[in-house]
């Protein structure tokens, strides 16, 4: 199990990014959460097997059709054993 914290930059608020991210995470079996940050970015925490988290990171680098992702920072963290995926 791995855990990654992402900060997604670009036009990612007000475009259904968090809800779409949650749908994708649930579809591929990744736990965690997504939330808007005051600076206009979206923060995502993803936990699961390495391949599934890699797939979600790849999805996050593009987002839903109405998003324009211009950058994505990611950091490895110690897994906490999250279950489910929340939109905060």
Residues 60-70 pLDDT 10s: 999 999 999 99
Q: Active site residue: 3, 4, 5, 36, which one?
A: 36
Query: Is residue 11 flagged as an active site residue?
Result: no
For the question of residue 36 being annotated catalytic, the response is yes
Helix, strand, coil fractions of the chain, as percent rounded to 5: 25, 40, 35
**Do residues 60 and 6 make contact, with C-beta atoms less than 8 angstroms apart?**
yes
Q: Give residue-wise pLDDT tens across range 22-43.
A: 999 999 999 999 999 999 999 9
In the chain the domains, ranked by start, together with CATH numbers, are 2-79 (3.30.70.100)
Identified catalytic residue from 3, 18, 55, 78: 18
pLDDT score of 34: 98
């Amino acid at each position: 199990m791995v855990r990654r914290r992402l900060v997604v930059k670009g036009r990612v608020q007000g475009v259904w990014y968090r809800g779409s991210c949650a749908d994708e995470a649930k579809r591929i079996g990744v736990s965690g959460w997504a939330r808007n940050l005051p600076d206009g970015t979206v923060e995502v925490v993803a936990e699961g097997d390495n391949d599934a988290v890699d797939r979600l990171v790849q999805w996050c680098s593009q987002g839903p059709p109405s998003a324009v992702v211009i950058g994505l920072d990611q950091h490895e963290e110690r897994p906490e054993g999250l279950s489910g995926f929340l939109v905060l």
